[in-house]
Amino acid sequence: MAAATFDDFGFNRQILNAIADAGYTQPTPVQQKAIPPVLNGQDVMGIAQTGTGKTAAYVLPILMRLKYAQGENPRALIVAPTRELAMQIEENIKAFAVNTDLRVAVLYGGIGPKTQIAQIDKGVDIIVATPGRFMDIYLAGHIVTKTLQVLVLDEADKMMDMGFMPQVNRILEVVPRKRQNLLFSATMSDKVHQLSANFLEHPTVIEVTPQATPAQTVEQKLYLVPNIKTKINLLRHLLEVEGDIKKLMVFCKTRVAAEYVFKFLQRKYGDKEVKVLHANKGQNTRINSINAFKNDEVKILVATDVASRGIDVADVSHVINFNVPVVIEDYVHRIGRTGRAFQSGVAITFCNPAEVYYIRKAEKLIRQTIPVYNLPPEVFVEETPYEERQDQNKEIDMQKRKDDPDFKGAFHEKKTLNQKKKFEAEKAKRNPRVAAKKSVKRSAKKKKY
């Protein structure tokens, strides 16, 4: 029978008080399914998207298992793909372990390792780390792994997308063979399946919703928008008319797009209302941006996918995908920033002609059709500039080639005779002198033969 309250799991009073102080009363479905087998010491594989409460589903049983500070070396290791997610997990651990003396250290790149090494040298019970930084500090001789009892791989699919598998495999080589393994992922790709086979011993599989299905509480909307300028016009309109936007995340595909959108919003609302987060920003700037957004100091956060995981902000009311992500799983993670912990949210996607291909793939992944909305009449539809139209056509050609290797495409070198004639005629109009020279040469050739 599913646990109705956290008391039903048999947690000690210190943990139950911390859960109550954090404002949690009812376990989420992933917590109901995962906590009992994790407490029981079983290997667990959890398929659950972000925003379902999966961090607490493994953190709470780990705290219950470790109970109090002991020795100098870590007894639990949690590996996460990004520094943002690692910091988020550390925050969760600190909140739930507040009534215990358990020590936690978080290790990530982007800053010097001295402070992190000093923290480990003082003694630590739980390490939360990104794969690269963990291996760097381990190889430098500062981490002893023989006492490890639990190993967690969180967001395993993202780790694979980011190319961390060599480091993850090295971590698996240096941790004790006898340990409890927990693997969590939002999607069950072939690669994740393969990793689970190598990593887990007869695991209990927890699948909260069909894999890669967005939370039930997220309302999805799709607008077909021809170009960037019209996307900006639509963004402006939505911000004016959507009165219930309390907190907004705007996701962009590239750092350039993120800066473009940020500068537009900055001009409109000023520095006090909007922050930007992408890989080009320094570590402190990124931490400050996330904290300002979490603490309601700013209403809007513009971000690339570096921030689509690991930001646990309960009251994000809206997500706008300014660009459709090319890595389809990121669609699920982006919209998972809203509708968290039983709250409702709205996820709006702007899709140009070259992005339709990816939105169809996203729909296939989530097994849903995203409702298409007409552009509001107040939104001015700009004409697509020549360069942007060409870029879109090239992208569409590339997509068609992916699906059909024999497809030649509008940009193929072997143009038809008619295309060549049209091309020559167009050039002749633009530069009559060159055209005249060419026709003289052609007539000279004819005379020769």
Record the tokens describing residue 337, joined without a space: 């920033």
Fold of 218-382: Rossmann fold (3.40.50)
Please state the CATH superfamily assignment of the domain spanning residues 6-207 in this structure. P-loop containing nucleotide triphosphate hydrolases (3.40.50.300)
Statement: residue 432 has pLDDT above 50: yes
Segment 239-253, tens digit of pLDDT: 988 667 888 999 998
Query: What pLDDT shows up at residue 449?
Result: 47
d(CA 299, CA 330): 23
Based on DSSP, count helices (H) and strands (E) in the chain, helices before strands.
Answer: 17, 14
Q: What is the mean pLDDT of residues 64-82?
A: 94
- Per DSSP, 82 falls in state S
414 — pLDDT class (breaks 50, 70, 90):
very low
With a cut of 50, say whether residue 300 has pLDDT above it. Answer: yes
pLDDT of 184-229, one tens digit each? 987 777 777 778 887 888 888 888 755 455 666 788 999 999 999 9
Mean pLDDT of 76-87: 91
pLDDT confidence of residue 3: 62
Chain centroid to CA 185: how far? 12
Mean pLDDT of 349-353: 96
The pLDDT of 51-64, averaged and rounded, is 89
306 phi-psi bin (left φ>0, alpha ψ -120 to 50, beta other): alpha
What tokens were used for 426?
A: 């167009």
Shortest CA distance to 156 belongs to which of 203, 126, 193, 129? 193
| Dist. CA 388–CA 392, nearest whole Å | 6
CB 228 within 8 A of CB 67: no
Output the CA torsion 254→256→261→266 (10° steps). 130
pLDDT in tens, 163-186: 888 898 899 899 998 999 999 987
| 417: confidence class by pLDDT, cuts 50, 70, 90 | low
Mean pLDDT of 360-380: 91
- pLDDT tier, 368 (very low <50, low <70, confident <90, very high otherwise): confident
Average of per-residue pLDDT across 362-380: 91
Q: Hey, where are the domains in the chain?
A: 6-207, 218-382
- Return the axis-axis angle of helices 13-21 and 54-66, rounded to nearest 10°: 150
221 vs 409, higher pLDDT: 221
The per-residue pLDDT of the chain, averaged, comes to: 84
Closest CA to 380 of 226, 260, 220: 226
In percent, the amount of the chain with pLDDT more than 90 equals: 47
pLDDT recorded at residue 141: 94
Pick 52 or 418 by higher pLDDT.
52
Q: How confident is the model at residue 293 (pLDDT cuts 50, 70, 90)?
A: confident
pTM check: above 0.85: no
Unique residue bearing structure tokens 């029981």: 40
φ/ψ of residue 300, rounded to 5: -125, 135
Is it true that 6-207 and 218-382 share their CATH fold? yes
Number of residues assigned to the chain: 449
pLDDT at 390: 94
The pLDDT assigned to 323 comes to 95
* Token duo for residue 327: 């890595």
For residue 328, pLDDT over 60 is answered with: yes
